[in-house]
C-alpha cells in the first residue's frame, strides 16, 4: 500500500539543560535506551528526518520533552527558561521550515505571563500553538484566574496540546505499582482528569472556540462519552453546563493517535467523535515511527477519512 502523506503533532526534542527536569523519569530507563533517546531528542538534521521520509511524514510539530518548566518551582526562572526554550526551538525550525513547526512552552505558573509568552511564540516566532505538560506544581487550569490566558489563546486561534505528567500526589491505588504509575496507565488517568476539569469547570462554555488536544487516542475519554452524560445527569453536584459533557469531546477536546496503534480503537474513536476530531501522531522518540506509519497506512477507513486524520485536520486546526 502506498504511504500516506502525514503531519505529526506529538514529536519531542530536548534542549540542552532541560534534562534535569526529566531526571526522575529517566531513572526508570536502562542506560543503552537512554543513550539512544538522548541522541534522537537532540537531533534535528539526520535521524529524525530519515524516519520522517521513510514514514511519509511531511511535517512535524516539535515540542520540548516533558515535564519542562511545569516542574520548575521558581516562577521567574520558569518564565526565563520557557523563553529560552522557545527561542532555541524557533532557531532550529528556521533551518528547515519546510519540515518543522513548533509548539510553545508556557510558564503556566502565572496566567498573564503564560498568555504573553503564547502571544510572543505565535506572533513573533511563528509557533502553531502550545504544548503544556499537565498541571504546574499541582495547579490545574479551570479556575477563573486562568481566564485571561484562555481568552488570549482563543483570540490567537491556536490549540494547546495537553501532555501527560506525573500526578502531583501519587494515586493511592497505584502505590507500590510503578509499572502502572507512569506511561502505561497513571499518566493517562492524570491527563484525562485534567481535561475533564476543564470541561466541568466551564472553561469551554466561557471560551467556546478553544481547542485542546489530547494524545494517546484521547487518554480513553472518547470511549466514556455516553457515561459522562448519564452520570452527570444523575449527579451534577450543582454544576451547570451549556451542553452535554459528551459534546465537548470532539469539538473542544481533540485527539491524536500517538502511542495507540490499534485499528479497532481508531475506528471506535472516529465513531465516537467524528473524523474531524482525530489526528495522526507518533510520540517520537518514545514510540516507533515505523509502527505508527504502518498502522495508519493500513487502517480500515475510507481514503477521505485517512487524508483528514493524516494531514487535513492538522493543517486546518494549526493553520498550516
Residue 23: per-residue pLDDT: 64
Residue 157 has pLDDT above 70, yes or no: yes
pTM of the model: 0.96
Instruction: Work out the mean pLDDT of the chain and round it to a whole number.
Output: 95
The CA R_g of the chain, rounded to the nearest whole Å, is 19
Q: Which of 45, 98, 147, 283 is catalytic?
A: 283
Q: Which residues lie below 8 Å from residue 190, measured CB to CB, with a gap of 6+? A: 134, 135, 164, 165, 166, 167
> % helix / strand / coil in the chain, to the nearest 5?
50, 10, 35
Does residue 45 carry a catalytic annotation? no
Residue 1 has pLDDT above 80, yes or no: no
Q: Each residue of 94-124: pLDDT tens digit?
A: 999 999 999 999 999 999 999 999 999 999 9
Residue 170: per-residue pLDDT: 87
Q: Each residue of 159-199: pLDDT tens digit?
A: 999 999 999 998 899 999 989 988 999 999 999 999 999 99
Backbone phi, psi, residue 255, to 5° = -135, 160
Using the CB atoms, write b or e for 264-287: b if 16+ within 10 Å. Answer: ebbeebbebbebbbbbbbbbbbbb
Residue 26: per-residue pLDDT: 57
Using the 8-state DSSP alphabet, how is residue 261 labeled? -
Residue 27 has pLDDT above 70, yes or no: no
Give the confidence band of 31 by pLDDT, cuts at 50, 70, 90.
confident
Amino acid at each position: 500500500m502506498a504511504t500516506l502523506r502525514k503531519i505529526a503533532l506529538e514529536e519531542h526534542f530536548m534542549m540542552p539543560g532541560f534534562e534535569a527536569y526529566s531526571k526522575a523519569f529517566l531513572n526508570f530507563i536502562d542506560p543503552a535506551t537512554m543513550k539512544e533517546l538522548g541522541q534522537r531528542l537532540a537531533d534535528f538534521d539526520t535521524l529524525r528526518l530519515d524516519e520522517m521520509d521513510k514514514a511519509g511524514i511531511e511535517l512535524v510539530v516539535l515540542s520540548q520533552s516533558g515535564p519542562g518548566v511545569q516542574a520548575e518551582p521558581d516562577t521567574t526562572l520558569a518564565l526565563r527558561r520557557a523563553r529560552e526554550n522557545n527561542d532555541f526551538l524557533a532557531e532550529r525550525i528556521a533551518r528547515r521550515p519546510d519540515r518543522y513547526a513548533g509548539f510553545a512552552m508556557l510558564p503556566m505558573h502565572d496566567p498573564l505571563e503564560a498568555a504573553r509568552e503564547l502571544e510572543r511564540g505565535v506572533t513573533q516566532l511563528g509557533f502553531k500553538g502550545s504544548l503544556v505538560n499537565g498541571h504546574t506544581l499541582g495547579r490545574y487550569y479551570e479556575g477563573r484566574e486562568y481566564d485571561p490566558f484562555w481568552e488570549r489563546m482563543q483570540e490567537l486561534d491556536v490549540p494547546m496540546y495537553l501532555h501527560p505528567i506525573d500526578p502531583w500526589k501519587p494515586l493511592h491505588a497505584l502505590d507500590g505499582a510503578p509499572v502502572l504509575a507512569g506511561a502505561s496507565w497513571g499518566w493517562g488517568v492524570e491527563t484525562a482528569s485534567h481535561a475533564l476539569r476543564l470541561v466541568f469547570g466551564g472553561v469551554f462554555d466561557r471560551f467556546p472556540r478553544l481547542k485542546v488536544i489530547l494524545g494517546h487516542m484521547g487518554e480513553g475519554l472518547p470511549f466514556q462519552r455516553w457515561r459522562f452524560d448519564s452520570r452527570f445527569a444523575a449527579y451534577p453536584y450543582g454544576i451547570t453546563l451549556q451542553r452535554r459533557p459528551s459534546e465537548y469531546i470532539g469539538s473542544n477536546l481533540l485527539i491524536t493517535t500517538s502511542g495507540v496503534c490499534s485499528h479497532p480503537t481508531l475506528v471506535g474513536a472516529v465513531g465516537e467523535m467524528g473524523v474531524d476530531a482525530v489526528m495522526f501522531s507518533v510520540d517520537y522518540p518514545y514510540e516507533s515511527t515505523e509502527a505508527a506509519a504502518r498502522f495508519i497506512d493500513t487502517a480500515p477507513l475510507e481514503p477521505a477519512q485517512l487524508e483528514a486524520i493524516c494531514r487535513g485536520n492538522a493543517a486546518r486546526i494549526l493553520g498550516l
